[in-house]
Each structure stands twice: as C-alpha cells, then as structure tokens.
Chain A
C-alpha cells in the first residue's frame, strides 16, 4: 500500500488554482522541485494539514486524513525557519514533541536524549536556539520529528540557508534517519543537485500542478518536459 496518496486535491491561493495528484511509496525519498511560486510549499502544507483542500482527498497509510487537524496526522513538517521555540531549551524543544504540555516521565526523557544523540547533539540539551548554529537548530527539529514517531517527514527547504557542505551533511543525516527509522521523506529544494543526489524520484511542480513525476535522472536527462529545461536553464536545439 502506498504511504501517501493525493487524489485530485484542489486548492485556490489568490487567483491561482492548484490541483495535485501524487502517490508516494513507503520508505521513499521524493524530491519536489520547480520554479518559485509554483505551489511546492502549498503542496506540503496540504499534506500536513495547514491548508484545507477545496475538494479531493489526502490518504496516509490508506486512511483519509483530509479533515484531520495537523497534530493528528502522522506527519512532521520542517519549515525553512522558526522550527524551534526561541525561549525553550534544546531538550524542551524536542520534548514538546512528545507531550504538548512538557509533562514527561523517565522513559520519555530517555527518548528525548536518544533522539538528540541520533542527530549528533549530545551535550547541548540545555542550550537555547540562539546559542546554536543554523544547522544545529535544524538538527533539533529533526530530533523532535524522531520522538514524534510520525512515519512521514516533510522538509520545506529547512537547509536552504546552510552552506553546501553543511547542507550535504544534513541531507546525509536525513537519509540515514530515513533508513534507520523507516521514514518516508518528501523534500522541497531549489537545488537540482540535491534531488540528483538524494532522491531516486522527483516531482516537478509548475503553476499549481505536478506536471511530471519520474526517476530523477531520467527526468533531468531525457529532457522531454520543456518546463523542466526552462527551469534548469538548458537550451533546446533550434531555440537559440
């Protein structure tokens, strides 16, 4: 059974009408690319429940979640920024993923520590977000998504502000966590090479529609979709 299905999910943002259909298998890592303003973030927000579709259905693990509030969906979404509460410590920022009132028993505390270790932040439990680097902050958010035990992880360009080496490091971490925790990952990116390296499959979003989903290499190399060429800045024969 596919992990995630979008059945002709319609949405309207200002005067742009969007319509998404998509199937993602369990354990996949799918990249979402496309020009700005095309609806990539909206697509993730619809899956996570921050936006309600006008029509259509969102199915996760076969269950219809179209009308569930965000917290009730088996989904974690990492934003580009503001993934952490600035006034809470690293530990509490992770712990709030287990209990929204921060009431934890010993077992839960151990889980928090374990998750922080898994993302390489041991020893930083008492720091506050302002005392961390950008990469470390997103690691805390990743640790929180681990303790929440949600099988579907959505990344809305959380590493866009990092340098190339750090971005590579974070994507490696995400891919390791995907394998070890059996996650399904969807990530939005502006860097075609991220999709090339990390995503066996890529969805190309253009003007509110997913106009192509295919193996990433095939999508980029066979050059059958003119919008993708335009996005990548490749010229076609006869146009120059």
Chain B
C-alpha cells in the first residue's frame, strides 16, 4: 500500500506543477492561433534559427566526437586517457556561465586566439558573438557528452569479434564497416537526439553569446518577452511553439532509434587487428590531443583570468556571500526535492513492473518524470509566472519557484541515475525480503539505502550542481534581493566588468564543483569514491 502511496503523491505534485503551468499557458492563449507561428515573421525567424543552430551544433558535436571516441576506444593505454575522461565529465556539471567566460577568454575579442593572431602579425578576427559563438559553446558542452555516450558501444563488442577480425586480416576500415559502425548506428539516433534537445532548449549560451535578435532561440525569446517586453501573449505563443516542437522532436527520436542495451563484453581491445598502423596511431593521438585542447583551454583560461582579476575585492563583497548562500540553499533543497520525487516515482514504477505485471504503467511513470524534456525550464517558469502572478507576488516567492523548477529539471537525471540501481536491488532482493518479512521502513533503511546510496549521492550531486549553475529559472524570477551566484555573474557580465566577472565565474565554478564533490562523498559514502 505505502509502496504505491508515495509514488502517487509525487506524480500528483509533478502533475500539479507541470499541469498547472501548462494549463495556465493554454488558458492565457485563447486569442492566439497556430498560424501565427508561420505568419509572424519574427516568430518564424526564431523558430527556424532555433532548429538550425541545434541541428548544426548536433552535427558538429557528434561528428567530431566519433573520431575522438574511436581513438579513446582503440587506445586504452594512451597516456592521459583517464585524465581526458575525467575532464570530459566536467562540462556536464560545470555552470554554463563559467564555461562561457572561459570560451570568451579564448575566442573573444581580447581572447587568446586574437592575441596569438596579433602576435603573428595577422588581423584579429571577430569570432565569437552570433552563430559561431553559439556553435563553439555548444560543441564545448556536447562533444564530451557525445564521447561519453558513444564509448559504451565499443565496450559491447565481444572479444571473439576482435579475434575473428584479426584472423580474417581486417584493416581499420573493414573493422569500422563490419564491427563498429553497426553498433554505433544503433545508438546514434538516441545520442544525437539527446544533444539536439539540449541545444534546442539551450538558454544561457544563446543569451550571452547570441549577441542580438538575429541569433535568438525560443527559450531566449520567451525570457525577453517576459522580462524585457512584458508581453505575456508573445511569451505564451513562444512557449506553446517550444512545447510542440520538443514533443515532435522527442517523438521522432523515439521512432528513429530504440534504446539499445549495451552489455559490456569481456573483449580485450588489444586483440584488435588495427592497432599497429602508424597512420592510425598518429590520427588517434591527434584526435585526442585536439579534443583535450579544445575542452581544457577555456577552463585553463578561466582559471588564469579569474585569478588575474580583482580576487580580494570580489571575495570581500558581502553581496557575493549572500548570493552564494542563496545558491547553496536553492541547490540543496532542489536536489533533495528531486531525489524524493524521483525515488517515490521509481518505487511506484518498480512495483508496477516487477510485481504487478504492468510494465506499460511503469514506463508511463518514468516518461512523466522526463516531461521536463518537453517542457523546458523557461517554459515551465513562464507557465508558473502566468499562473501565479495574479495571486502572488512572483518576485517575493521567486526563490521557492526557482527551487521547484530546478527540482523538476533535475528529475530526469535522478530517474536515469537511480532507476537502474533501484531495479537491480528489487530483482536481487525482492524475494529475499518477502521471505524474511523485511518491508516498509526496515526495507528502506536496511536494504534500499545501502544498495543505492552511491547512485543517490551522484543524483543529488548532479541536481545540486545543475541548480547552482542554472540561469534559466533565476533569470525569470530573480531580483536584486534574491540574486543567486549565477544571476550575479550574469549581471556583472552584462555590465562589461569582465575582470570581476571572470573572478566571479571562478568562484561559481569552485562552489559548484565543491558542492558536487561534497554531496557525492558525504551522501554516497566511501563507496562513491571507490568504483
């Protein structure tokens, strides 16, 4: 009974928040017509640009990730491989704004690249603002993600395949065509889909690097309609367009590719026939080195610019510390809320799937938890804005709303990280627990928690880090009195105080990573650092 109750309550709460926001948008839009999307030239431009930049970002990220992932898969013993993989996990949790400042420090007007060009006697170019800036930033975030998502495909190759390939005398190209590509092709749609969605709903990158109305995406347009133009009708139209397009894209991705379970095989890559070739070695090394430089350079530049900045003055500013404490409070609460909602929903889904023979019900619940993919944070925020502004002072309850939006945003991560561990626990221990009468609180305390603690810690840390770095919700609801660290940084960037901004960005990055590592260690326990 209680196994069903908690999950049902969580679903109800999620339904109230998302449904309320969505309903408010629909109700506020009686006078809008779907045709506006195609006739209003501004709307049409925004929609087309949003799709175009996401498509270009996805093609670049995945296309560049393929040779890097293949190189990493082939060269298991290449020096720096472990460091690179660790480095590649950073962009996922790194605050977007901090990364953007690093990117500005490399590709910006006064950045490393232009300095080098000047030193070589070349004319400095303007690389950054507009489409090129958006693409560079999106590749910076998504190339590492694509590599990490693609790598398991190689681990799923059975050892016999490599030995067989060696016996048959296959060359590198044959190996690619016969063994690697068929596996990659199966996961490529879902990998591309994830990255396309991330770029499609990207907010902070476009807001800061877009550089004007020519390069605006739906998310940014929603923000501008709400915060700058106070045009509720336009915000609603944009939000509905965003939801419709997201739903269509997710549907297309689901149709194109199924989630293929990749089981790690016991294959030894050293049995591959194409490891000795010189050309392959040079190519792989170059691919890895280039990827490493591309990802590490902005981080290094952020570090040096941040330390060069007015560190003492920034740290002495009481505004900074108030912002930090707000950011931490919001992050910890959002993470706890997301974990509670996610765990309750997973327990319900698991009960339906494993004990009551209702796998479809279970899948529906898990899909509901991933709704935020269709209703991105800015849209969710816009809905809550429309819903609550008649009855409450939006800015007074701003931080509470930011917490809720961040928690809902983090829910898909909780489900993804925690779900497999909870399922595994159930498959392993359900009968044992039933036989021994271990249930309810005892089961939660003695069986579930110790078994999934590590994953729970990781999920909490992820949501907390994303929340600290998030600019979307706080940009909508934040004021000077409720300024979080990310918003403070955005304001400093807007005021062109770039040296102070770089230092603030460094503080933001430090807070974010410290929070991530702290939560993962404290909650996940010693086991979290093992693995």
Binding site for B on A (CB under 8 A): 48-50, 69-72, 75-77, 79, 82-83, 85-88, 96-97, 100-102, 148
Contacts and interface: CB of A to CB of B under 8 A. Distances in A.
B433 to A, nearest CB: 8
Contacts, number: 54
B432 interface: yes
Contact of A100 (B428, B429, B431, B442): B442
Contacts of A69: 434, 437
B451 interface: yes
A85 B447 contact: yes
Contacts of A102: 442, 446
Contacts of B428: 82
B285 to A, nearest CB: 39
A48 B435 contact: yes
B438 interface: yes
B436 interface: yes
Contacts of B435: 48, 50, 70-71, 75-77
Contact of B429 (A50, A71, A82): A82
A87 B434 CA distance: 18
Q: Which of A50, A71, A148 has the largest number of chain B CB atoms within 10 A?
A: A71
B450 interface: yes
B451 A87 contact: yes
B439 interface: yes
Nearest to B446: A102
A185 to B, nearest CB: 16
Contact of A101 (B429, B446, B451): B446
Given A85-B446, A87-B451, A88-B446, A100 B436 contact: yes
Nearest to B427: A82
B446 A97 contact: no
B112 to A, nearest CB: 49
B434 A50 contact: yes
Contacts of B438: 96, 100-101
A76 B451 CA distance: 23
B436 A96 contact: yes
Nearest to A50: B431
Contacts of A85: 429, 432, 446-447, 450
Contacts of A87: 450-451
Nearest to A72: B437
B359 to A, nearest CB: 15
A70 B437 CA distance: 8
Given A85-B447, A87-B450, A102-B446, A71 B431 contact: no
Contacts of A50: 431, 434-435
Contacts of A148: 436
A-B complex: 7 closest residue pairs judged by Cβ atoms:
A71-B437, A87-B450, A100-B438, A101-B442, A70-B434, A70-B435, A100-B437
Interface string B459-487: 00000000000000000000000000000
Nearest to B430: A50
Given A71-B437, A86-B451, A88-B450, 11 more contacts: A70-B434, A79-B431, A82-B428, A82-B429, A82-B432, A85-B447, A100-B436, A100-B438, A100-B439, A100-B442, A101-B442
23 contacts: A50-B431, A50-B434, A50-B435, A71-B434, A71-B435, A77-B435, A79-B431, A79-B432, A82-B428, A85-B429, A85-B446, A85-B447, A87-B450, A88-B446, A88-B450, A96-B438, A100-B436, A100-B438, A100-B439, A101-B438, A101-B441, A101-B442, A102-B446
Main secondary structure of the interface of A (DSSP, over half): loop
Interface string B407-426: 00000000000000000000
Residue from B429, B432, B451 having most chain A Cβ neighbours under 10 A: B432
A49 B438 CA distance: 15
A82 B431 CA distance: 10
Contacts of B451: 86-87
A70 B432 CA distance: 10
Contacts of A76: 435
A77 B434 CA distance: 11
Nearest to A45: B431
Interface in B481-517: none
Given A82-B428, A87-B451, A96 B434 contact: no
Nearest to B449: A87
Interface in B351-403: none
A12 to B, nearest CB: 13
A83 B441 CA distance: 21
Contacts of A101: 438, 441-442, 445-446
Contacts of B442: 100-102
Contacts of B446: 85, 88, 96, 100-102
Contacts of A83: 432
B336 to A, nearest CB: 23
Contacts of B431: 50, 70, 77, 79
A77 B432 CA distance: 9
A68 to B, nearest CB: 11
Contacts of A48: 435
A160 B186 CA distance: 38
B325 to A, nearest CB: 35
A71 B429 CA distance: 14
A75 B451 CA distance: 26
Nearest to A77: B435
Nearest to A73: B435
A87 to B, nearest CB: 4
A79 B436 CA distance: 13
B425 to A, nearest CB: 10
A238 B441 CA distance: 64
Nearest to B437: A71
A96 B446 CA distance: 9
Nearest to B431: A50
A49 B430 CA distance: 13
A96 B445 CA distance: 13
Contacts of B434: 49-50, 69-71
A216 B436 CA distance: 32
A234 to B, nearest CB: 36
A116 to B, nearest CB: 17
- Interface centre among A77, A85, A86, by most chain B C-beta atoms within 10 angstroms, is A85
Nearest to A100: B438
A75 B431 CA distance: 13
Contacts of A49: 434
B450 A71 contact: no
B432 A71 contact: no
Contacts of B441: 101
A97 B432 contact: no
Q: Considering residues B437, B442, B447, which has the most beta carbons from chain A within 10 angstroms of its beta carbon?
A: B437
Nearest to A48: B435
